[in-house]
Amino acid sequence: MFVRIVKMSFYKEHIKTFLNNFEENKSNIRNFAGCNLLELYRDKNNPNIFFTYSYWESENDLEYYKQSDLFKNVWSKTKPLFNEKPEAWSLDKMDSLE
């Protein structure tokens, strides 16, 4: 299992735009081939900071998504809203206790 975490920080006045864009596209992202989980988190201490957390079958599946029209459309609307450069982590899931 391949895990991707992305940290995004937005200008306060653009948060609603981001959330609307996420709401419109989350099902399509989640149902993209190879995506097994998609979650959105908001920082409790800094409400301008959000994280996406997603599970992918493989790194290739994520790369295929990042080349897709869906990603290009979502990212083109998201990128101008940032107040800081986004950060991303790619992880191999080692263990899970449920």
CA 10 to each of CA 30, 57, 61, 68: distance values in angstroms, whole numbers, following the listed order: 22, 29, 27, 24
* Predicted TM-score (pTM) of this structure: 0.92
The reported pLDDT for the residue numbered 39 is 98
At a CB cut-off of 8 Å and minimum separation 6, what does 50 contact? 7, 8, 9, 10, 18, 40, 41, 42, 43
Nearest to 5 by CA among 88, 93, 85, 92: 88
Digit-by-digit pLDDT tens for the chain (98 residues) are 899 999 999 999 999 999 999 999 999 999 999 999 999 999 999 999 999 999 999 999 999 999 999 999 999 999 999 999 999 999 998 898 87
* Full set of structural domains in the chain with CATH: 2-92 (3.30.70.100)
